[in-house]
Chain A
Amino acid sequence: MIFVTVGTQLAFPRLVEAMDSLAPDLDEEIVVQCGPVKGVWNNIVAVQSMAPDEFSENFAAARVIVAHAGIGTILSAKNAHKPLIIVPRQFKFGEHRNDHQMATARYAQKLAGVHVAWETDELMGLLLNPDLEPAHVDPGPSHAALVNRLRDFIDQ
Chain B
Amino acid sequence: MMSGVITFYSSQQVMKAEKILKNYNYEELLIPGPREISPNCGVAICFDYSKAEEIKELFKKEQILYEKICYYPEAKKISKWF
Chains A and B form a bound pair: no
Chain B interfacial positions (CB closer than 8 Å to A):
none
Chain A interfacial positions (CB closer than 8 Å to B):
none
